[in-house]
Amino acid sequence: MTTIDWDAAADSFDEEPDHGLLDPAVRSAWAQRMETWLPAACSEVLDLGCGTGSLALLVAGQGHRVTAVDRSPRMAGQARAKLSGTGARVLVGDAGEPPVGTQRFDVILARHVVWLLPDPVAALHHWFGLLRPGGRLVLIEGVWGGVGLSAARLTGLLTPHTERIHHEALSGDDRLWGKEVHDERYALVARAEPAHRHTEVVDVHLVLRRGAEVLLARRAGTGYADGLLHAPSGHVEDGEDVREAMIRETAEETGVVLDPDELRVALVMQHRGPGGSPRTGWFFEAAYDPGRPPRNAEPEKCSELGWFPLDALPDDMVAYSRAGLDGYRAGERFLLHWHEDGDPVGHVPHGVRRAVPLPATAPTGGVHHIELWVPDLAAAESDWGWLLGELGHAPYQRWERGRSWRRGDSYVVVEQSPDLSGDTYDRLRPGLNHLAFHVRDRDTLDALVRRAPGHGWRPLLPDRPAHTVDGHHAAYLENAAGYEVELVVP
């Protein structure tokens, strides 16, 4: 970083109208602002209408390479003397069309210049052409006694060139001016962006769970993937967030009106169809409510709605929808699914796998899985499979002696191991006493307790199927093998 001899600068130019920058307090205030407006790394900075070089000297002192321009030879001469030893170069020329040739800059700085230009529209257009991609304009302007350029007007002049404009009011910082001011003074920092930025459609997909089953719809009459199954889905519309879009699409396609609290983010997947453009898909999970059964609310676009087992999805599905549900069942959180142009739209069993899981940050210390050894695998698959499915776990692994169900980053295993030392389980002996699971609300808890006996679970407290424990509603169930679960509602 260049060392500036401010005392020498003050001695040489104490007679100039220097906006107070020879006052150490004012100079320090401007230096702090410049640090926030300029890049942290050493950059090429073009100071237009530099005057005697006060701001250019601050910029050079912060380690940047400065080119300064002023149309007045006298001002440029003073700036050249002030900047001597900093490596800066000072040119005489018009700020509107600075004499820098084809050179490109990271920052263009102009203080109290734009309002004086005869054609600010043309000048701003030219300045953006002098910026490198991602570069920035730092424009310090104001309105004094009814003259000048308001922030609203200058923002309007910048809008055709960029959407990224940061406004910073300066009137309230008396340190910058060495006195109290009441007129409009401000800085605008505008970023140079490519003329055609990449954009993607955002779509939303519903994983509506009924235990171990998921709802699918068959497309019809749309002109795209007709005859194939997919999860209820749609596009995010202008002004919507993804959750609002999911609620709207669910109501339009299935007639089910979801509350925002019912939705959980299951998976985010960037996908591309054959010959198409990339899209970003949000998969949301929600639980089936028997009091709000889904119906085919768009028969002109859908020939049927149906429930399908999540661990045995049909093959006649839209490929990216099938990939998203397979990723969801496997516990993935982020996924890429990128078709080649010659790929079919539909899922191809045993075809080339296009889905690429992206690893998420590992939740250090979180539960990875819980493994229960059981004396009867068939009975355990029946009762545990029902209960875990009702609690939102998806069938995950299946092998000769075991099964597992996954939810998020963790899963539950039941296994009839050949290494079992006995054929009975006693939860009152040292070891696992019970598992406890969250349940969304009291109505869901009561419904689970009512239906549990039909699926191998009996309430441990039949006279109090759900009671309050430490401020929570809870119920306790036990299966025939003696395993206990606690169901808890906050």
- What is the domain-level CATH number for residue 377? 3.10.180.10
Token pair 């996908």: residue: 271
Query: pLDDT (tens digit, 9 = 90+) per residue, 407-460?
Result: 877 899 999 999 999 989 999 999 999 999 998 888 888 889 999 999 999 999
Query: pLDDT (tens digit, 9 = 90+) per residue, 250-308?
Result: 999 999 999 999 999 999 999 999 988 999 999 999 999 999 999 999 999 999 999 99
Q: What is the pTM of this model?
A: 0.58
Residue 415 in any domain: the answer is: yes
Question: Phi-psi category of 48—alpha, beta or left, where left has phi over 0 and alpha has psi -120 to 50?
Answer: beta
Q: What gap in Å lies between CA 152 and CA 230, rounded to an integer?
A: 48
Beta bridge partners of 268: 282, 334
Residue 364 in any domain: the answer is: no
Residue 14 in any domain: the answer is: yes
Domain of 414, in residue numbers? 369-489
Residues 194, 133 contacting (CB under 8 angstroms): yes
What pLDDT, on the 0 to 100 scale, is given for residue 416?
96
Report, as an integer, the average pLDDT of 325-333.
Answer: 91
For 54, the token pair is 């006060």
Does 343 lie in the same domain as 425? no
- Domain boundary residue, one of 129, 159, 191: 191
Does 350 lie in the same domain as 388? no
Q: What gap in Å lies between CA 2 and CA 87, rounded to an integer?
A: 9
Q: What gap in Å lies between CA 406 and CA 396, rounded to an integer?
A: 6
Does 287 lie in the same domain as 379? no
Residue 363 in any domain: the answer is: no
Q: What gap in Å lies between CA 122 and CA 342, rounded to an integer?
A: 47
Whether pLDDT at 8 is above 50: no
Residues recorded for the chain: 490
Does 105 lie in the same domain as 216? no
**Continuous segment of H or E residues that includes residue 82:** helix 73-82
Residue 107 in any domain: the answer is: yes
Does 244 lie in the same domain as 130? no
Q: Compute the mean pLDDT over every residue in the chain, rounded to the nearest whole number.
A: 90
Question: Phi-psi category of 42—alpha, beta or left, where left has phi over 0 and alpha has psi -120 to 50?
Answer: beta
DSSP state of 374: -
**Pairing, β 334-338 against β 264-272:** parallel
**Beta carbons within 8 Å of 339's beta carbon, 6+ residues apart:** 271, 272, 273, 274, 276, 319, 320, 354
What pLDDT, on the 0 to 100 scale, is given for residue 14?
36
- Domain boundary residue, one of 191, 215, 230: 191
Does 246 lie in the same domain as 108? no
For 163, the token pair is 């959407």
**Continuous segment of H or E residues that includes residue 158:** helix 151-158
Q: What gap in Å lies between CA 133 and CA 142, rounded to an integer?
A: 27
Report, as an integer, the average pLDDT of 357-379.
Answer: 89
How many domains does the chain divide into? 3
Does 396 lie in the same domain as 354? no
For 21, the token pair is 């920058």
What pLDDT, on the 0 to 100 scale, is given for residue 220?
95
Query: pLDDT (tens digit, 9 = 90+) per residue, 296-311?
Result: 999 999 999 999 999 8
- What is the domain-level CATH number for residue 240? 3.90.79.10
Does 332 lie in the same domain as 393? no
Does 272 lie in the same domain as 335? yes
Does 239 lie in the same domain as 331? yes
Task: Report the percentage of the chain scoring pLDDT > 70.
Answer: 93
Task: Report the percentage of the chain scoring pLDDT > 90.
Answer: 75
- Domain boundary residue, one of 323, 358, 393: 358
Does 303 lie in the same domain as 436? no
Does 180 lie in the same domain as 320? no
Residue 196 in any domain: the answer is: no
- What is the domain-level CATH number for residue 182? 3.40.50.150
What pLDDT, on the 0 to 100 scale, is given for residue 12?
36
**Beta carbons within 8 Å of 184's beta carbon, 6+ residues apart:** 142, 143, 148, 150, 151, 171
Residue 83 in any domain: the answer is: yes
Query: pLDDT (tens digit, 9 = 90+) per residue, 92-102?
Result: 999 999 999 99
